[in-house]
Amino acid sequence: MAKETHAAPPVIGRHRYARELRALQIELVKLHRHVIARGHKVLVILEGRDAAGKDGTVKRIAEHLSPRELRVVAPGKPSDREETEWYFQRFTVHLPAAQEIVLFNRSWYNRAGVEFVMKYCTRSEHEAFLEAAPGFERMLVRSGIHLLKYYLDISRAEQARRLRERRRDPLKQWKLSPVDEAAQQHWRDYSRARDQMLLRTHTRDAPWMVVRADDKHQARLNVIRDILARVPAPDVARRLARPDARVVREFSAPLLEGWVAR
């Protein structure tokens, strides 16, 4: 199979980034207003390697939306009781009700990534998850939830640079964990786990969008553009709801041959 390669988008300056971000956040407010008025339910999942930029992307999406109808969920380690539950059970309490947008900064896909790579779950639990996830998400979508899934992908060199920055910056050291410290050591294991996850859980009902995230500015802007494009809202300016295909692409198997970081 021929490798599929694409040039990266140009780097944009801080002033242009701030200007474009503000314009897109205004459209997000319009979208949220429509979600509230029509009683829609929106669930956005952001996954990716450690230091891929999930926190910053979530912050820019949520920054100006109504705090009463928006929730950010960042699942931690399951409790002893949760360890005995059906795997998806602890996530269902966070699903959106009518009028809500919920942003998952990591999600049930922990089992396909960090839990599997770091051996926090068994191989049989990992396989059971990959089999169950498409059906679980199909039920969510058919219940009326707008489900958007983004995988933020970065290169090994960029991940190393960001992890070094975290260690030096006293305001970012809360982000460091033993899992982060092992990210580079287990780079190839995470790549294999990511590939299997994308291949097994990308469906028509709940497709994965892969985001090239070495450039944080471009990643944030284009995730927002993609949300605006995929959640129906008549007041949103369609000219702004156009993600750059060099940054955001719907997953397909050929992307593994040249577009995602190895």
Does 11 have pLDDT greater than 90? yes
Q: How does the average pLDDT of the chain come out, rounded?
A: 95
Q: Residue 237: name the closest of 34, 16, 30 by CA.
A: 30
What's the CATH architecture for 14-257? Answer: 3-Layer(aba) Sandwich (3.40)
pLDDT at residue number 6? 63
> What is the token pair recorded at 45?
């999942």
Averaged pLDDT for residues 68-94 = 96
Q: Percent of the chain beyond pLDDT 70? A: 98
pLDDT in tens, 145-185: 999 999 999 999 999 999 999 989 988 878 788 888 899 99
- Contact predicate 176/112, CB 8 Å: no
DSSP per residue over 105-133, as a string?
A: ES-GGGGGTHHHHTTSS-HHHHHHHHHHH
Q: How confident is the model at residue 4 (pLDDT cuts 50, 70, 90)?
A: very low
pLDDT at residue number 178? 82
Does 5 have pLDDT greater than 60? no
pLDDT in tens, 107-146: 999 999 999 999 999 999 999 999 999 999 999 999 999 9
Q: Residue 72: name the closest of 114, 101, 109 by CA.
A: 101
pLDDT in tens, 38-48: 999 999 999 99
For the chain, the residue count is 262
Averaged pLDDT for residues 74-95 = 96
> What is the token pair recorded at 130?
């990959």
Kindly tell me the sign of the dihedral angle through the C-alpha atoms of 167, 168, 172, 173: positive
pLDDT at residue number 2? 34
**Rounded alpha-carbon distances, angstroms, from residue 186 to 1, 48, 49, 157:** 27, 14, 11, 14
How far, in Å, CA of 164 to CA of 158, rounded? 10
How far, in Å, CA of 202 to CA of 252, rounded? 8
Averaged pLDDT for residues 191-217 = 98
pLDDT at residue number 174? 81
How far, in Å, CA of 66 to CA of 29, rounded? 8
Report the number of secondary-structure helices (H) and strands (E) in the chain: 10, 6
- Contact predicate 95/44, CB 8 Å: no
> What is the token pair recorded at 65?
């939306």
pLDDT at residue number 258? 87
- Contact predicate 32/66, CB 8 Å: yes
pLDDT at residue number 172? 84
pLDDT at residue number 9? 86
Specify the pairing of strand 100-105 against strand 145-153.
unpaired
